[in-house]
Each structure stands twice: as C-alpha cells, then as structure tokens.
C-alpha cells in the first residue's frame, strides 16, 4: 500500500514512537488520526494531523475514536497499535535486609494488561469492524510487540501482553484475510522514548551494554520497519524484531 493512500490511526500518538510515526506518515502524504491520554502533548504534533484524547483501556473510547477518525479522514484503512505503559515489578520479591516478601499487585497487572493487550485488541476489533462495515479494502494493522515477549525479569505483565500481541498478529492475519486486511507486528528492543527514559538507570545501562550494535535505538529505526509492513502487500502474520541484536 502506498503511504499517501493511508487513512490511519496511531494510538499513543502524542510522544515517543507514536508521535514519530504520526509525523512521518503525515510527511508522506497520509491522513493521520492520533490518539493519546496526554491531550497537552497531542497539541505539539504537526499541523494537519487529526488528534483527540484516547484511553485505549476504555471500550467506549475506542469505539468512539474509531468512528470519529473515520469521519474526519473520510475513510479508514490502517492502524498502528502503539499505545503502551510499564508497571514493572518482580512477581515475588524478598528484601535481603529485612526478609520482607512483596508481590506484584493486581493493580500493576491490570493496568498493563488493560492498555497493552485489552486496549490494543479493542482498537483492532473496532478498526477492522469499521473497515468491514464500510467495505474499505485493502487495510493494514501494525501491532507493537516487544523483544520482551520472550520473557524478561520483572515484567510478567508486560511480557504477557506483548507475547499475546505477537501471537494474535498471526490469529488476526488469518481471521481478517477474507476482508483484505493484513496484520503485522514490530518487536522493538531498547528504544529511546519517554517510557524507557523512566527506567531504573542501572538496569538501563546494563541493557544498552548488551546491544551488539553498541547503541540504544531511536524511533526512526522502528519507523523503517513500520513503513515496510505498511508498504509490502506480501507481508502478513509475522513479527519483525528490531533490537540491534539484543537478547534478553
């Protein structure tokens, strides 16, 4: 699909990778609707990008955002499922000094699953339903998984969500084939974004030291892969790792 022909939603579009994707798509001539919980940051996006508050963990907001985006752009044929959060913590932890045992809270679990998995699934459901309803084809979905989908200490919630997204990329590619909708995924490694900048510095430094290309990634590195999925009509049902060779 040509980028200029896209009428596409970007979730988590106010900052980091989402803002970069939205900007690059706009530069390429696509129509873009960006959603994010951070309304103030949305205002900083380039002119011409449609923008509106969106909390993907809320079913009604997903449905209303998709309907609004379709109306604003005069159609809808794409989604970049980028919204995500971190609430890291060991499932069970024992303090070496005091012996106190702490556990990952249900709130930590639910927050990440609610945004990174349930919210992403709701956005796919609503977007594809609108495409089918309006007989808009071809269509394309890009899910943002993670290198962490293979397992990573202290991220039971995040790993669960990102592994499920990678698996459902295959599921949805098969389910939506008859609708003319492709589904692909990107699994970024360590990327310079506001979310990763908030990591524990010691853990961050240790990760970067293990990246074979010897640097942290930047949003443009991921955009190159996103662009490939959007443009390559023969790509479907697969996840691309873009991680500098990092293994967790």
How far, in Å, CA of 145 to CA of 112, rounded?
Answer: 13
How far, in Å, CA of 111 to CA of 117, rounded?
Answer: 10
User: What domains can be seen in the chain, in order of their start residue?
Assistant: 3-242 (3.40.50.720)
pTM above 0.85, yes or no: yes
Report the chain's mean pLDDT, rounded to a whole number.
Answer: 95
Could you tell me what percent of the chain has a pLDDT over 70?
Answer: 99
Q: Are 6 and 31 in contact (CB under 8 A)?
A: yes
User: Sorting pLDDT into bands at 50, 70 and 90, what band is 39?
Assistant: very high
Let me know the angle formed at the C-alpha of 140 by 247 and 13, rounded to the nearest 5 degrees. Answer: 70
Per-residue pLDDT, 194: 77
Span 65-112, pLDDT tens digits: 999 999 999 999 999 999 999 999 999 999 999 999 999 999 999 999
Q: How far apart are the first and last CA of the chain?
A: 34
Let me know the angle formed at the C-alpha of 189 by 142 and 229, rounded to the nearest 5 degrees. Answer: 25
Span 203-232, pLDDT tens digits: 778 878 888 998 899 999 999 999 999 999
CA dist list (Å): 223 to 23, 42, 178: 10, 19, 28
Span 148-194, pLDDT tens digits: 999 899 999 999 999 999 999 999 999 999 999 999 999 999 888 87
Span 111-135, pLDDT tens digits: 999 999 999 999 999 999 999 999 9
Residues noted as catalytic: 158
- Among residues 167, 153, 162, which one has the least CA distance to residue 188? 162
């Amino acid at each position: 699909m040509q980028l200029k022909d896209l009428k596409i939603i970007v979730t988590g579009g106010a900052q980091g990778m989402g803002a970069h994707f939205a900007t690059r798509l706009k530069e390429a001539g696509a129509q873009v609707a960006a959603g994010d919980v951070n309304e103030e940051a949305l205002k900083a996006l380039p002119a011409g990008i449609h923008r509106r508050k969106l909390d993907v963990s809320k079913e009604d907001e997903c449905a209303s955002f998709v309907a609004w985006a379709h109306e604003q752009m005069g159609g809808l044929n794409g989604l970049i499922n980028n919204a995500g959060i971190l609430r890291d913590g060991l499932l069970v932890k024992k303090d070496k000094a005091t012996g106190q045992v702490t556990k990952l809270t249900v709130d930590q679990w639910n927050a990440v699953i609610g945004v990174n998995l349930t919210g992403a699934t709701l956005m796919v459901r609503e977007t594809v339903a609108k495409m089918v309803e309006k007989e808009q084809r071809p269509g394309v979905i890009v899910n943002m998984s993670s290198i962490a989908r293979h397992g990573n200490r202290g991220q039971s919630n995040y790993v669960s969500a990102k592994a499920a997204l990678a698996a459902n990329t295959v599921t949805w590619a098969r389910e939506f084939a008859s609708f003319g909708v492709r589904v692909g995924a990107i699994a970024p490694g360590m990327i310079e974004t506001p979310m990763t900048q908030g990591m524990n510095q010691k853990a961050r430094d240790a990760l970067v030291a293990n990246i074979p290309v010897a640097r942290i990634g930047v949003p443009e590195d991921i955009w190159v892969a996103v662009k490939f999925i959007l443009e390559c009509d023969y790509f479907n049902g697969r996840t691309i790792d873009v991680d500098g060779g990092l293994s967790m």
